[in-house]
Amino acid sequence: MEPGYCEGEACGREGCAGVIGEHKVMNCSCHINPPCGACTAPRGYCEACGWEESEEPAPEPQPLSQKEKDFWKAQAEEWERLRNAPLDNTKVSWRYAPHTNASMIKEGVYPVSMSREEVEREVTGTFGGRFERFGNGHFKYIAYTD
């Protein structure tokens, strides 16, 4: 018999005939940032044998298959290729880098014939942003994303 883990299932650990229950959630903070740790923490227990889900060791991570390794290697190579691709000054072209948890840096080039407003329309973040540097076909823009 497979051991139970969900509320209402038979325990089944070492022949136990008890029923799995769940401890009540204490100190839930889902109203701030759901799902909270209190709600996602292991709460299962068996009153009959004293089993506590929170005391079980975490499962061993499964190693990646060769197919998964190849996929992530290809992703890393593509990201590296894009990061090092030359910028095209015949259009607004940029690379981005993290800045803060609510912004990113967009640094790049633009055709010198474009105005500051035209370039900003291309690079503005979800919540706006500001130029840190602009001129001679190069710019650095802080885009507000959150």
- Mean pLDDT, consecutive 10-residue stretches, the chain (146 aa), reads 90 94 95 93 95 92 96 95 90 93 95 96 94 97 93
Output the pLDDT for position 91: 96
Output the pLDDT for position 100: 94
pLDDT single digits (tens) 43-59: 999 999 999 999 999 88
Output the pLDDT for position 135: 96
What are the structural domain ranges in the chain? 13-55, 87-144
Note the pTM of the prediction, 2 decimals: 0.51
Omega of the bond prior to 35 within 30 degrees of 0, cis? yes
The terminus-to-terminus CA distance of the chain in angstroms comes to 50
d(CA 139, CA 142): 10
Task: Select from 122, 141, 125 the least CA-distant residue to 133.
Answer: 141
Output the pLDDT for position 83: 83
d(CA 110, CA 139): 8
